[in-house]
Amino acid sequence: MKYIGFLLLFLFFVIEVRSQNILVLEKPGTARNFKYTEYDHISILQTSTDSIISGRLSAISDSSISINGGPDILLNDIQMVYRTSWGFNLFQKTTLLAGSLYLGISTINGMVNNDSPVVPKETLIIGGSLTAAGLILIPLTTRRLKPGKGVWRLVILDFTE
């Protein structure tokens, strides 16, 4: 009876198991690497069209990738891979939002209370500094990793065999 129950359980709950290819951006000689599977978000600069393509990986074959169901892109046609640095991105958004909110709330408060300078000098310095820091951090939120002859290399790990 145990065997029949196990067999029925196995037959009813069979799921499709298949291997998938993995796109790896690695720094040879170190443990630094970034792995992309299907449906992961990626941004690249394509050499042949000289345009930035951003979206979800829809297919990874043995020598090319496809983004958002578009045409296949060969690995040696990828000039740059863009990665978002979550630490700088979080800090940039936080400082920009904090500076804008502080300046806005203080301005509304000064208008409601009929203050002589609606926005005090100290508030302008603090709010402006936070907002400026958020704007200055924008270029640091995205890392540019150049595969090929440089430090990084793109490899597709093929597990389909």
Average pLDDT over residues 67-86: 92
Residue 54 sits in the same domain as residue 127: no
DSSP 80-96: EEEEE-HHHHHHHHHHH
Residues 131-141 have pLDDT tens digits of 999 999 999 99
Average pLDDT over residues 91-105: 95
Give the dihedral sign, CA 62/68/70/73: negative
Q: Find the domain containing 27 and state its range.
A: 19-84+141-157
CA dist., res. 147 & res. 27, Å (int): 9
- pLDDT classification of 63: cutoffs 50, 70, 90: confident
Residue 80 sits in the same domain as residue 23: yes
To the nearest whole percent, how much of the chain has pLDDT over 70? Answer: 92
Q: Is residue 9 part of a domain?
A: no
Q: pLDDT at residue 149 above 60?
A: yes
- pLDDT classification of 53: cutoffs 50, 70, 90: very high
Instruction: Give residues with Cβ within 8 angstroms of 112, minimum separation 6.
Output: none
Q: pLDDT at residue 19 above 90?
A: no
Q: How many domains does the chain have?
A: 2
- pLDDT classification of 2: cutoffs 50, 70, 90: confident
The pLDDT of residue 54 is 94
pTM over 0.85: no
Residue 118 sits in the same domain as residue 93: yes
Q: Is residue 6 part of a domain?
A: no
Residues 20-34 have pLDDT tens digits of 889 999 998 899 999
Average pLDDT over residues 81-87: 93
Residue 30 sits in the same domain as residue 103: no
H or E segment at 146? none
Residue 103 sits in the same domain as residue 34: no
CA dist., res. 161 & res. 159, Å (int): 6
Q: Is 81 exposed, middle or buried (0-12, 13-18, 19+ CB in 10 A)?
A: buried
Average pLDDT over residues 110-128: 91
H or E segment at 42? strand 41-46
